[in-house]
A and B are shown apart, each in its own frame.
Chain A
Amino acid sequence: AQTVTQSQPEMSVQEAETVTLSCTYDTSESDYYLFWYKQPPSRQMILVIRQEAYKQQNATENRFSVNFQKAAKSFSLKISDSQLGDAAMYFCAYLTGTASKLTFGTGTRLQVTL
């Protein structure tokens, strides 16, 4: 069974600084996809960034980027120039090509301070 582990229950970053959220996963599949979702206090899940496992190049979306280390089964999220609106719960998620259900980690609560 696939598992997703987020070892940081809470993180804090100062506004305009950079923070990295960690995620590791376990799978025997070769074809899969990884996602980071943001869940603000409104509780709606919003896709932040995604990565195909077959792509070596790390995905980037504006201030958000990932460090995908396939051999280490690691998928960290880097947030640059952090903003107050980035404060939220962040979930790492995994999806295989053979099924379409998302498997989520336990989440990291990110606080952004002035």
Chain B
Amino acid sequence: EPEVTQTPSHQVTQMGQEVILRCVPISNHLYFYWYRQILGQKVEFLVSFYNNEISEKSEIFDDQFSVERPDGSNFTLKIRSTKLEDSAMYFCASRKTSGNAYDEQFFGPGTRLTVL
């Protein structure tokens, strides 16, 4: 069964460093998402991406964040200068489109980012 994959599973970085989190969405999906979950808190929407551009972003998704689909398969989240408060689990999700936002979003296993 097709699934969303994410690498790495755990990333440790120093404050101020740049990190890139990678996701491979399901191959026939066209909408892509990043969510994050700070330990013990709820899952929060960061950004949605469609047709090679951002569809929507939250207030969390400031200038330090960027997303890219560099080739036909990967979808990346870059944090330019990490802060301690960026420590969280980052989930990638994708969905196919039938013109209905109700279609299921399939989630990856997450990348745990630890900023020291």
Contacts and interface: CB of A to CB of B under 8 A. Distances in A.
A102 B106 CA distance: 12
The A contact surface, by secondary structure, is loop
B61 to A, nearest CB: 11
Interface of B is mostly: strand
Interface residues of B, number: 25
A91 B33 CA distance: 18
B51 interface: no
A52 B42 CA distance: 23
Interface string A78-106: 00000000000001000111111111111
B25 to A, nearest CB: 14
Interface string B79-111: 000000000010101010000111011011110
Nearest to A103: B45
B86 to A, nearest CB: 18
Contacts of B35: 102
B102 A107 contact: no
A107 B42 contact: yes
Contacts of A91: 42-43
Interface residues on A, range: 20 to 34
A43 B101 contact: no
A54 to B, nearest CB: 11
Contact of B102 (A33, A44, A106): A33
B31 interface: yes
B44 interface: yes
Contacts of B45: 101-103
Contacts of B107: 37, 44-46
Interface of A: 33, 37, 42-47, 50, 52, 91, 95-107
21 contacts: A33-B102, A43-B89, A43-B109, A43-B110, A44-B107, A50-B102, A91-B43, A96-B101, A97-B100, A97-B101, A97-B102, A100-B95, A100-B105, A101-B33, A101-B48, A101-B56, A102-B43, A102-B45, A104-B43, A104-B44, A106-B41
